[in-house]
Amino acid sequence: MSGKHPTAVAQLADLIRDVTGNLVPETRFDFLAEVAQRRAHAAGAPTRAEYVRALAAGELQREWESLIPLITIKESYFFRAPQQFEAVERQLLPRLLRARAGGGRRLRAWSAACARGEEPATLAMVLAEQPQLAGWEWSILATDLDEEALAGARRGLYGERAVAQVPPALLARYFTRRGKLFELAPELRARIDYRAVNLAQPPFELPEPEYDLILLRNVLIYFGRPLQSWVMAHVTPLLARKGALLLGASETLWQIQDELEAIDLGTCYCYRHRRARPSGAPPVAATTPGATAATPAPVPASMAPAAAAPHAAAATPSAAPVTPAPATAPSSGRSPALPPVATAARDDGAARPRSALEMLLAAAHELAANRLDGARRALDEALAADPSEPAGHLLDGFLHDLGGRPEEAAASYRAALYLDPSLFQPRLLLADCLLRLGRRDRAEHQFREVLAALEAGRERSVAIFDELPLPDRARALRRCRQALKGG
Ligand SMILES: C[S@@+](CC[C@H](N)C(=O)[O-])C[C@H]1O[C@@H](n2cnc3c(N)ncnc32)[C@H](O)[C@@H]1O
């Protein structure tokens, strides 16, 4: 903990992690201090320290209900990641209907971090539109940690921004305008059962023993990796044998668990129990924890040339989209080995825990020195300490790229962009990754996005990895133009 923040704030961060699973990195401690100040005042506690003490001792009745909305991220809207809902409609539902046709024609879905209900209501619209579901008994369990958000979900009133992606025909059919707001149709709300469930405190008390469809989107990203594994260990048995799990578009189960396997649905992935895979659907490659590529792996064209020969690359960008890369990381040949990654020496010689940022820099340092195992170890610890740092996910993507795991690399770059969409380097690396995965359309879209941001001067860059050959603006511009010409 830095000396700038009083211990009470660090204690509050620990308490929030223990109770809700959400990690509050030190970079957000100023914000947390303000929240603690406000809540202490509202709760009648004379100081922040007294507030935190009373909260920890369970003396503040219902205080968590007020605190949780302030410290969790509620970003959500209808038809978020529309490709997933399209896949539900076109690919997952037909299979589920076949599986369930003989057994009472019941279908159960669970939206496990539903925010203000945008996600389960979107699913309800998709299901309500299915003629094959006529006469079926279907329902959606919608859970969240945040009682206030659940109360909002039950009211079913949404602003324009939340409904902006709803197709006009569905907007007309399932919403009633109430002044500036849109009210969700009661017949859809009647299909949804809203309940408070804290994913960080399994086992979960749910009304059904299993669910055909589980949406666990954009919530694991706020937890440390051990908790992610723990949550998945409890979610997996709740997924029906032939059911499907959807994570957020930037999330993956790589290194979290391998009981479920990722199935490529073309525009997105779902996870299924291993034995339930239909004969035609290919599993994605290398989801085994710790798997490393035995042969040199391709790395992004935007990164590899500089890694191999920094000066030459700056003058002549690679003409090939896929550049053979070293099996190991670029070496500066001058970096001494670091001490074990989780601790650092204090002035008095004693070990103190490293901060997430220090571990991240240690990971970059290890990578620059060609020590991939050390880099992976440091990075895992950095991400466990602070999964909300985009630079960590960027590095994660790069390590996956080096290990020959482009799917995982793409997911990590997406995670970085989820956390900060204005960063151009993860977007450029994602574009190259998509090219190598044969998804030229989507790659070109990303190249165009990078180009537009660079040309308009509204891009941001990851500044902390001095030792790594991340593409700079000039190289990124060249790479985008080259790629968009077909290179
Ligand atoms: C970014 S929103 C995601 C909403 C929706 N799933 C989506 O993808 O649009 C994250 C949600 O996770 C919820 N959340 C955070 N920690 C949680 C926990 N321990 N248990 C259940 N929900 C949690 C937050 O309250 C918030 O509503």
- Residue 20 Cβ inside 6 Å of ligand 1? The answer reads yes
Q: Tell me which residue of 188, 176, 486 sits closest to 320, measured CA to CA.
A: 486
Please tell me the distance from the alpha carbon of residue 193 to that of residue 287, in angstroms, as a whole number.
34
**Which residue has the least CA distance to atom 27 on ligand 1?**
115
pLDDT digits (tens, 9 = 90+) for 277-287: 444 444 433 22
- Residue 149 Cβ inside 6 Å of ligand 1? The answer reads yes
Torsion of CA 43, 46, 51, 52, to 10 degrees: 170
Q: Across all residues in the chain, what is the average pLDDT? A: 83
Q: What is the pTM of this model?
A: 0.69
pLDDT digits (tens, 9 = 90+) for 198-255: 999 999 999 999 999 999 999 999 999 889 999 999 999 999 999 999 999 888 888 7
∠ at Cα 46 (41, 48), nearest 5°?
A: 75
- Counting as low any pLDDT under 70, the low residues of the chain are 1-6, 275-353
Please tell me the distance from the alpha carbon of residue 71 to that of residue 66, in angstroms, as a whole number.
10
- Residue 73 Cβ inside 6 Å of ligand 1? The answer reads yes
Q: Which amino acid makes up residue 329?
A: A
The helix (run of H) or strand (run of E) holding residue 264 is: strand 260-264
For a substitution probing ligand 1, which of 85, 144, 231, 419 has the most ligand atoms within 8 Å of its CB? Answer: 144
Predicted confidence at residue 422, as pLDDT, reads 85
- Residue 251 Cβ inside 6 Å of ligand 1? The answer reads no
- Residue 116 Cβ inside 6 Å of ligand 1? The answer reads no
Indicate which atom in ligand 1 lies nearest the CA of residue 199: 20
For a substitution probing ligand 1, which of 18, 72, 388 has the most ligand atoms within 8 Å of its CB? Answer: 72
**CB-count burial class (<10 Å; 0-12, 13-18, 19+) for 209:** exposed
The answer to whether the beta carbons of residues 446 and 431 sit under 8 Å apart is yes
**CB-count burial class (<10 Å; 0-12, 13-18, 19+) for 97:** middle
- Residue 198 Cβ inside 6 Å of ligand 1? The answer reads yes
Radius of gyration of the chain (CA): 24
- Residue 146 Cβ inside 6 Å of ligand 1? The answer reads yes
- E-state strands within 11-94: none
The answer to whether the beta carbons of residues 412 and 402 sit under 8 Å apart is no
3 state SS of 475:
helix
- Residue 392 Cβ inside 6 Å of ligand 1? The answer reads no
Residue 283 DSSP label: B
Indicate which atom in ligand 1 lies nearest the CA of residue 21: 19
Indicate which atom in ligand 1 lies nearest the CA of residue 68: 25
What 3 state SS string does 118-163 have?
HHHHHHHHHHHCCHHHCCCEEEEEEEECCHHHHHHHHHCEECHHHH
Q: Tell me which residue of 244, 135, 122 sits closest to 171, measured CA to CA.
A: 122
- Residue 250 Cβ inside 6 Å of ligand 1? The answer reads no
- Residue 217 Cβ inside 6 Å of ligand 1? The answer reads yes
Q: Which amino acid makes up residue 236?
A: T
Predicted confidence at residue 331, as pLDDT, reads 32
- Give the distance (Å) from ligand 1 centre to CA of residue 112: 8
Helix axis angle, 424-436 relative to 473-484, nearest 10°?
30
- Quick one: tokens of 115? 């925010």
- Residue 388 Cβ inside 6 Å of ligand 1? The answer reads no
The answer to whether the beta carbons of residues 479 and 446 sit under 8 Å apart is no
For a substitution probing ligand 1, which of 219, 222, 418 has the most ligand atoms within 8 Å of its CB? Answer: 219
End-to-end CA distance of the chain: 47
- Give the distance (Å) from ligand 1 centre to CA of residue 7: 27
- Residue 303 Cβ inside 6 Å of ligand 1? The answer reads no
- Give the distance (Å) from ligand 1 centre to CA of residue 113: 4
- Residue 21 Cβ inside 6 Å of ligand 1? The answer reads yes
